Amino acid sequence: MSAGTLIQQLRERVGGPVIGPDDDAYDDARTVHNAMIDRRPAAVVRCAHAGDVRAVVDAARENEVDLAVRGGGHSVPGFGTCDDGVVADLSGMRDVRVDPATRTVRAEGGATWGDFDTATHSFGLATTGGIISTTGIGGLTVGGGIGYLCRSQGLSCDNLIAADVVTADGRLLVASERENEDLFWAIRGGGGNFGVVTAFEFRLAPVKDIYGGPIFYELEDADTVLRFFREFIADAPRELGGFPAFQIAPPLPFIPEDRHGDVLSAIMACWAGPVEEGERAVQPFREVAPVVADAIGPMPYPMLNSAFDALVPPGLQHYWKANFVGELTDDAIAAHLEHAPRLPAVNSTIHIYPVNGACHDVSPDETAFAYRDANFATVIAGMWPDPEENESNIQWVRDYYRATAAHSEGGGYINFMADDDQSRIQDNYKANYDRLARIKAVYDPGNLFHLNQNIKP
Ligand code: FAD
């Protein structure tokens, strides 16, 4: 079938706009967050509702063309777009409806964490979500979901109660503990392999204002900070979230001007307990080493979850690598200390997320997310503006990754992994992989949903 006929067929079937190469909106519609991804789909369908999603899935299957599913478009490997195929773009489906009586929320599959947090915050409620407000709840939740609240609330996927899922045969199924339980198990960590989630239902916890923000230290003190953090966080109160990081000091008013551009070590803190107890809870972070800059204080939870948006605008080049870490050993810390000082760009960062606390309450086989014994999830997030510098930045990420991989588990968090990490997928799911492959064979035997960290049927 020609691209023109496919577009015609889609326009007859869906309510939302169908954008093809001849349309003015095409370049905007084919663009995803990572500017390194430059793909030209035959059509981008801005789905208006679950019915449109079904129509796109049917059209892709019947015409045997690639199908990309896009929530927030943040996938670093660019899974939210494709060459020649069809994109089911959910960015028009962002309604978020809170039920304060049951402390639950129903959010459409294209909502961002900004949409989500704003809606739930007005009721003094929240759940674990991404630390950048423009990331989609879709891709993040089906891959697991790590954020400031995960020590107290678990992963984003742990807070999922139910989901509406369009499967490869075009059916709309409810997945929950009571219906299509195997599908529900698989979409909690198994990524976009099993269908398109058109709506997520989450449980919420009372979180309104938090006590948090970044605190920066000299790079020379990174060793002390990391050794302290690994011991401290092992049994710190669960309300205390946040993570150590390395970062080039951005030109922000709370950082002394003469330090802008220096590589510093940091802790991004988030105390989500009673806000008046926050100062005491983060005091150890203020005492561990001399402080270069401190912006920790009380603020609305959505403010922390959008505080670093400006460092990651659309249009940067991205190349990321990730590891799960059992013990953050002295040797692992030494590997960080060797490579972090060479941070090449102000947008790039290294985050060492603690994934203990409530994440460990869920057993490894309870959801698809298998690494319930890991204590940290590390991401080496290479992000820089100039495509001319791709080679050197990618090399820095790879060298850093290789050095830390020697002190890490086999798998890495699926949502932080690169497109050249497909060989690590089985490692990521460990004993859960075979069950995922069996469920994939039931719901997507033809592997229609293959533009993801792919689980083969
Ligand atoms: P998309 O590119 O739209 O989709 C990514 C994948 O998810 C695709 O395979 C797609 O098919 C699938 N998908 C998307 N929506 C749906 C849906 N509704 N139903 C089924 N499948 C779907 N991760 C964290 O855990 N915590 C963070 O704090 C965090 N911060 C990030 C910050 C930035 C700047 C970036 C670029 C990424 C961050 N991530 C974080 C990683 C993030 O979880 C992944 O990139 C995730 O895939 C993004 O989801 P998306 O919907 O925006 O992506």
Nearest of 267, 266, 196, 275 to residue 239 by alpha carbon: 275
Q: Is residue 344 part of a domain?
A: yes
Residues 181 and 264 grouped into a single domain: no
Q: Is residue 268 part of a domain?
A: yes
Alpha carbons within 13 A on the beta-carbon side of 269: 32
Q: What spacing in Å lies between the alpha carbon of 79 and ligand 1's midpoint?
A: 9
Residues 293 and 223 grouped into a single domain: yes
Residues 249 and 362 grouped into a single domain: yes
The residues with which 96 forms a beta bridge, in sequence order, are: 107
List pLDDT tens digits, range 380-421.
Answer: 999 999 999 999 999 999 999 999 999 999 999 999 999 899
Contact of 257 with 200, CB cutoff 8 Å? no
Q: Is residue 456 part of a domain?
A: no
Nearest of 420, 173, 175 to residue 412 by alpha carbon: 420
Q: Is residue 454 part of a domain?
A: no
Residues 149 and 252 grouped into a single domain: no
Decide: 197 in ligand 1 pocket, CB within 6 A: yes
Residues 27 and 109 grouped into a single domain: no
Which CATH number do you get for residue 156? 3.30.465.10
Contact of 279 with 103, CB cutoff 8 Å? no
Taking the CA of residue 144 as reference, the ligand 1 atom at the shortest distance is: 25
Decide: 129 in ligand 1 pocket, CB within 6 A: no
List pLDDT tens digits, range 139-158.
Answer: 999 999 999 999 999 999 99
Which CATH number do you get for residue 85? 3.30.43.10
Give the strand pairing for 376-384 and 196-203.
unpaired
Q: What spacing in Å lies between the alpha carbon of 71 and ligand 1's midpoint?
A: 7
Q: What spacing in Å lies between the alpha carbon of 258 and ligand 1's midpoint?
A: 36
Residues 188 and 215 grouped into a single domain: no
Helix (H) or strand (E) holding 394: helix 390-405
Q: Choose which residue among 66, 75, 268 to substitute to test ligand 1 binding: the one with the highest number of ligand atoms within 8 A of its C-beta.
A: 75
Which CATH number do you get for residue 404? 3.40.462.20
Residues 140 and 242 grouped into a single domain: no
Residues 105 and 47 grouped into a single domain: no
CA–CA separation, 139 vs 110, rounded Å?
9
The residue among 89, 124, 139 that closes a domain is 89
The residue among 61, 89, 117 that closes a domain is 89
Taking the CA of residue 145 as reference, the ligand 1 atom at the shortest distance is: 25
Residues 75 and 123 grouped into a single domain: no
**Local confidence pLDDT in tens for the 457 residues of the chain:** 787 889 999 999 999 999 999 999 999 999 999 999 999 999 999 999 999 999 999 999 999 999 999 999 999 999 999 999 999 999 999 999 999 999 999 999 999 999 999 999 999 999 999 999 999 999 999 999 999 999 999 999 999 999 999 999 999 999 999 999 999 999 999 999 999 999 999 999 999 999 999 999 999 999 999 999 999 999 999 999 999 999 999 999 999 999 999 999 999 999 999 999 999 999 999 999 999 999 999 999 999 999 999 999 999 999 999 999 999 999 999 999 999 999 999 999 999 999 999 999 999 999 999 999 999 999 999 999 999 999 999 999 999 999 999 999 999 999 999 989 988 999 999 999 999 999 999 999 999 999 999 999 9
Q: Is residue 375 part of a domain?
A: yes
Nearest of 390, 368, 382, 451 to residue 416 by alpha carbon: 382
Taking the CA of residue 318 as reference, the ligand 1 atom at the shortest distance is: 36
Residues 154 and 36 grouped into a single domain: no
Taking the CA of residue 452 as reference, the ligand 1 atom at the shortest distance is: 9
Q: Is residue 415 part of a domain?
A: yes
Q: Is residue 455 part of a domain?
A: no
Residues 414 and 437 grouped into a single domain: no
- What domain range is 143 assigned to? 96-206+433-443
Residues 233 and 198 grouped into a single domain: no
The residues with which 245 forms a beta bridge, in sequence order, are: 266, 351
Exposed e or buried b per residue across 168-199, where buried means at least 16 C-beta atoms within 10 angstroms of its C-beta: bbbebbebbeeebeebbbbbbbbbbbbbbbbb
Q: Is residue 195 part of a domain?
A: yes
CA–CA separation, 9 vs 18, rounded Å?
10
Number of compact structural domains in the chain:
3
Name the token pair of 129.
């979500």
Nearest of 147, 87, 138 to residue 112 by alpha carbon: 138
The residue among 26, 58, 89 that closes a domain is 89
DSSP string, 194-250: S-EEEEEEEE-EE--EEEEEEEEE-GGGHHHHHHHHHHHHHSS-TTEEEEEEEEEPP
